[in-house]
Amino acid sequence: MAAFTVARSGGRFLRGLFVFKGLGTGRYGPAVSAVRSVTQQQMRSFCVGHLSVQERIEKKRRAALVGGGQKRIDAQHQRGKLTARERIELLLDPDSFVEYDMFVEHRCSDFGMEADHNKYPGDSVVTGQGRINGRLVYVFSQDFTVFGGSLSGAHAQKICKIMDQAMLVGAPVIGLNDSGGARIQEGVESLAGYADIFLRNVTASGVIPQISLIMGPCAGGAVYSPALTDFTFMVKDTSYLFITGPDVVKSVTNEDVTQEELGGAKTHTAVSGVAHRAFENDIDALLNLREFFNFLPLSNQDAAPVTECHDPSDRLVPGLDTVVPLESTKAYDMLDIIHGIVDEREFFEIMPNYAKNIVVGFARMNGRTVGIVGNQPKVASGCLDINSSVKGARFVRFCDAFNIPIITFVDVPGFLPGTAQEYGGIIRHGAKLLFAFAEATVPKITIITRKAYGGAYDVMSSKHLRGDVNYAWPSAEVAVMGAKGAVQIIFRGKENQAEAEAEYVEKFANPFPAAVRGFVDDIIQPSATRKRICRDLEVLASKKQTNPWKKHANIPL
């Protein structure tokens, strides 16, 4: 009964609003019959002979809850996938989901689609809003059991509705994608639906965080909605993203390729960079998404969240004093530094398997969300190349759009040389990272741990790009290039190269040249880095900086 009263009172301002309690018909059943016993008597007096409205409501609701029916639900489970509703229930706080448009049905009348058995209340998507750890989020979850989750005009309309609402109130949208593609029976109606969603993805971009979790197929034009959102996550082995499937590929290019190879989680997280992270299974993915959501502000009007923190902000990290090897050619793991500095060693890495020469992800400092960017000396010496520049740039822009301070750890020997890079356009791709750091107005803190060579030094959130606080560790070397190369140019053809090299090292392979010019604000002991950053973030919390008015900037795409 409680569920029903809430629904009624809620209905005053939101038509069709329904509090979804429990899972499936099993739990809903008794509630329905209880309702019916009261209402049937009242209704019967003036609705004799017909199915009362109340009964029809209940019937539709029950139908909506089972989607494409038990058989298809079982099939979905057999594929190792959960149903659209099960996913929502796992994602959101218990009893917090408020469903919209349960009664919406598709409007197609061709190919026998108008038949009653082809109509499913709610059609092939479940939409609504709810809470993750008490914070508002809008959700749509495509229902593969109804026409394979295909996108009809009604399906698109439902998604658009919650996106519009999310924009009005300023709350993130999470899409759980599991759809075979367009509803072919509907033709252009379906295509129009996609476009309506794309438009909303674009207008919402930078206003509210948008997250896509691919939990089944997502093919054809449909892929562009996740591609437009801020983050795309995938489920290993059960999700695919591609423009054209293996059959079409075979007929056009005669390539033999499996779904997994073409567009599986591994491909997109390691090769194409389309997806930001993959998880083991549906449950793992949804639980991780909850964790991830806690890092994000609700909208661009909200500050980055601050959670209760047990890790002392003035904690010294003695291990950092020895993390950078004495030989400047030797690699180390930037993650050791990041884990040591952030709260509770918790780091939600974004794209951990793609362009591994740069590390990006979210963490907290004294409870406050921060975005972390770091060169990874362990992979390709931490150089910047096309993929790492683009990976870094996109992450920096997200942080800037959503008021998340950026902490940058620099150990970069420069941009990767070679024809592959030049032909691939490292100039314009590298410019993206430069652009992103330069335009960012959120608090920016930079720590040069070792090398900061050449143009890459400028790019990596340097003082010159409005870095708020720039530190150098004693092991920092800020220079145009490494000693050997520099000496070969300055003293070309001269003898005593070794001596010249030693002189160059003495002059430049230390933090002083940058420090005397004020390009770094201080040379700090590595073990005190956490303490310093936490203190700076507190100061910078009230930072206000705006770029000149423009329609939008023109980042070199």
Partner 1 sequence: MASFTVSRALQRVLFGLQRVSFKSRCHVNTTVSQYSTVYDSSEKTFDKILIANRGEIACRVMKTCKKMGIKTVAVHSDVDSSAVHVKMADEAICVGPAPSNKSYLNMDAIMKAIRQTRAQAVHPGYGFLSENKEFARRLAAEGVTFIGPDTHAIQAMGDKIESKLIAKKAKVNTIPGFDGVVKDAEEAVRIAGEIGYPVMIKASAGGGGKGMRIAWNDEETREGFRFSSQEAASSFGDDRLLIEKFIDNPRHIEIQVLADKHGNALWLNERECSIQRRNQKVVEEAPSTFLDPETRRAMGEQAVSLAKAVQYSSAGTVEFLVDSRKNFYFLEMNTRLQVEHPITECITGLDLVQEMIRVASGYTLRHKQADIPINGWAVESRVYAEDPYKSFGLPSIGRLSQYQEPVNLPQVRVDSGIQEGSDISIYYDPMISKLVTFGSTRAEALQRMVEALDSYVIRGVTHNIPLLREVITHPRFISGDISTKFLQEVYPEGFKGHQLSDSERRELLATAASVFVAAQIRSQRFLGNLRVSGSQQERRRWELSVELEKGVHAVTVSHSGSTYTVDLDGMRVDVSSEWNLASALLPVTINGTQRTVQCLSRNAAGEIELQYFGTSYKVRVLSKLAAVLSKHMPEKVPEDTSSILRSPMPGSVVAVSVRPGDTVAEGQEICVIEAMKMQNSMTASKTGKVKSVHCKSGDTVGEGDLLVELE
Interface with partner 1 (CB under 8 A), residue from 17, 298, 380, 410: 298
Question: Going by DSSP bridges, is the β-strand pair 210-219/522-523 parallel, antiparallel, or unpaired?
Answer: unpaired
| 320 binding partner 1? (CB under 8 A) | yes
* Contact between 552 and partner 1 per CB under 8 A: no
What is the per-residue binding string for partner 1 in 353-372, x denoting contact by CB under 8 A?
A: --------------x-----
315 touches 343 (CB < 8 A)? no
Cβ distance to partner 1 smaller for residue 86 or 521: 86
Q: Which of 61, 72, 81, 183 binds partner 1 (CB under 8 A)?
A: 81
For the question of residue 220 being annotated catalytic, the response is yes
The yes-or-no answer on residue 456 being catalytic is yes
Considering only 105, 196, 237, 439, the residue that binds partner 1 (CB under 8 A) is 237
Active site residue 221: yes
Residue 522 phi, psi dihedral angles, 5° rounding: -160, 155
Residue from 166, 285, 456, 514 carrying the catalytic annotation: 456
Using rule CB under 8 A, residue 322 touches partner 1: yes
Regarding 125 and contact with partner 1 (CB under 8 A), the answer is no
Tell me the C-alpha distance between 179 and 67, whole Å: 14
Task: Please select the residue that binds partner 1; options are 307, 496, 545, 547, rule is CB under 8 A.
Answer: 307
Give one DSSP letter per residue of 389-404, joined into a string. HHHHHHHHHHHHHTT-
Residue 191 interacting with partner 1 (CB under 8 A): no
Q: Which of 89, 101, 123, 477 binds partner 1 (CB under 8 A)?
A: 89
Q: Please give the residues from 126 up to 155 whose contact with partner 1 meets the rule CB under 8 A.
A: 131, 133-136
Query: What is the CB neighbour count within 10 angstroms for residue 528?
Result: 17
Contact stretch for partner 1 (CB under 8 A) within 9-17, 153-161, 336-344, 454-462: 336-344
- Of the listed 68, 181, 193, 220, which one is catalytic? 220
Eight-class DSSP state of 107: -
The number of beta carbons lying within 10 Å of the beta carbon of residue 422 is 13
C-alpha closest to that of 470 among 518, 539, 403, 526: 518
Cα within 13 Å of Cα(313), Cβ side: 14
DSSP H or E segment with residue 160: helix 153-169
- Residue 129, φ and ψ in degrees, nearest 5: -135, 165
Task: Return the ∠ at Cα 11 (arms to 8 and 13), rounded to 5°.
Answer: 145
Told to check if 308 binds partner 1 by CB under 8 A, we report yes
Q: Could you tell me which stretch among 60-68, 73-81, 444-452, 543-551 binds partner 1 (CB under 8 A)?
A: 73-81
Residue 353 to residue 376: CA distance in whole angstroms: 12
Find all residues with CB under 8 Å of 33, minimum gap 6, and list them. none
DSSP, collapsed to helix, strand or coil, labels residue 414 as: coil
Hey, which residues between 262 and 291 contact partner 1 (CB under 8 A)?
Answer: 279-284, 287-288, 290-291
Q: Give the integer Cα–Cα distance in Å for 305 and 234.
A: 25
DSSP E strand boundaries for 205-265: 210-219, 231-235, 240-242
Catalytic residue among 31, 455, 500, 502, which? 455
3-state SS, 112-128, equals: HCCCHHHCCCCCCEEEE
Least Å distance, CB 324 to partner 1, is 9
Query: Is 541 a catalytic site residue?
Result: no
Tell me the closest approach of the beta carbon of residue 306 to partner 1, in angstroms.
5
The interface with partner 1 within residues 479-518 (CB under 8 A) comprises none
Q: Is 112 in the site for partner 1 (CB under 8 A)?
A: no
Which residues are catalytically annotated?
Answer: 220-221, 455-456
Binding site for partner 1 (CB under 8 A): 23, 77, 80-82, 86, 89-90, 93-94, 96, 131, 133-136, 237-238, 279-284, 287-288, 290-292, 294, 298, 302, 305-312, 317-323, 326-327, 333, 336, 339-340, 343-345, 367
